Amino acid sequence: MSLLSVKNLRVSFDTEAGLVEAVRGVSFELGRERLGIVGESGSGKTMTGRAVLRLIRPPGRIEADRMAFDGQDLMRATEREMRALRGPRIAMVMQDPKYSLNPVMKVGAQLMEGLRQRDRLSRMEAHDKAIAALEAVQIRDPGRVMEAYPHELSGGMGQRVMIAMMLIPNPDLLIADEPTSALDVTVQAEVLAILDGLVRNRGMGLIFISHDLRLVARFCDRVLVMYKGKVVEELAAQDLMQAKHPYTQGLLNCLPRIGGPRQPLPGLDRNADWAV
């Protein structure tokens, strides 16, 4: 049985300008595998990720024929049941450590907060677990990082702290929303390798949301390409270069390549039939 099953998911917002549909009928099944969701800004990829956790506030509305996690119906779950899922079972890593960590709380205190509140651990146990979590994401001097405030960390370190925090309760599903787009290429490669190792070793399911098609292809088993709230193509990551859909091809071709020709980069044709 699949870990997460989503059928005909729709997310819509009532705005002054009328109804805006951010996600228009997305369906997918996820096992304990790595699924990539790619698209440009506004394609609905982030909203899809948030909808799984029901983290969309009114006036936003989530509708789906079916959305089930490990046999549990997410559409019918009460707010209390959802809270029990968020964190321990399904965790989410956000894009930018600058905005997603509490700026006035030391990293250690943020890591230990959940352990103390949720798991009722003693201060000592929580401290040890937090240190272990930081070591798991290859932070070399966890003692110093525990005592640091988020602004004292580099982007790569902050991102690792967030990953460590999300992995402490050992979730079954990790939703990573652009976890490396605020990072440099070299650091990006490191963080991805860490994430990859953790997902493999713990047998987690992963939804990896990104605008970088090549990164996703390298890192995931399967890729969903989204445009304007719809999935335009689904394919195995290794078949990416043979993508059929013009949008996917467009996304690939508009990226410059080292040693590539110096001609103008091809743009995306947004007026074709599929774009409506």
Partner 1 sequence: MALIEIDNLSVTFLSKGHRVLAVKDVSLAVEARESFGLVGESGSGKSTILRAICGLAPVSGGAIRIDGQPLDRGAGKGFARRVQMVFQDPYASLHPRHTIDRTLSEPLAIHGIGDTDARVMRALDDVGLPRSFRFRFPHQLSGGQRQRVAIARALMLEPEILLLDEPTSALDASVQAETLNLLNRLRAERGLTFLMVSHDLAVIDHMCDRILVMQHGQAVEELTRDQLAGAQMKTDYARSLFAASADRMLAG
Q: Which of residues 224-243 bind partner 1 (CB under 8 A)?
A: 240-241
- Please choose, out of 14-22, 95-103, 118-126, 182-190, the segment that lies near partner 1 by the rule CB under 8 A: 182-190
Report the nearest approach of partner 1 to the CB of residue 183 (Å): 8
Instruction: Tell me, by CB under 8 A, how many residues bind partner 1.
Output: 34
User: In sequence order, which residues have a C-beta less than 8 Å from that of residue 270 and are 6 or more positions away?
Assistant: none
Report the nearest approach of partner 1 to the CB of residue 160 (Å): 15
Given the complex with partner 1, which of 106 and 127 has the nearer CB atom?
106
Q: Is 256 one of the binding residues for partner 1 (CB under 8 A)?
A: yes
Amino acid (1-letter code) at residue 235:
L
Q: Which of residues 26-45 bind partner 1 (CB under 8 A)?
A: 40-41
Return the DSSP state at 86: B
Structure tokens at 96: 């930018």
Given the complex with partner 1, which of 131 and 213 has the nearer CB atom?
213
Q: Is 163 within 8 Å of 179 (Cβ atoms)? A: yes
Q: Is 214 one of the binding residues for partner 1 (CB under 8 A)?
A: yes
Alpha helices, H only, the chain? 45-52, 79-85, 97-100, 107-117, 123-136, 142-146, 155-167, 185-202, 213-219, 246-253
Q: Is 255 one of the binding residues for partner 1 (CB under 8 A)?
A: yes
Given the complex with partner 1, which of 111 and 153 has the nearer CB atom?
153
List beta partners, residue 60. 13
Given the complex with partner 1, which of 186 and 201 has the nearer CB atom?
186
Please give the Cα distance from 99 to 94 (Å, whole number).
9
Q: Is 254 one of the binding residues for partner 1 (CB under 8 A)?
A: yes
Q: Is 245 one of the binding residues for partner 1 (CB under 8 A)?
A: no
Please give the Cα distance from 150 to 224 (Å, whole number).
33
Contact pick of 186, 201, 244, 276 for partner 1 (by CB under 8 A): 186
Q: Which residue from 75, 81, 25, 76 is spatially nearest to 52, judged by alpha carbons? A: 75
H or E stretch covering 271: none
In the complex, which residues of this chain contact partner 1 (CB under 8 A)? 40-41, 154-155, 184-189, 211-215, 217-218, 240-241, 250-251, 254-260, 262, 264-268
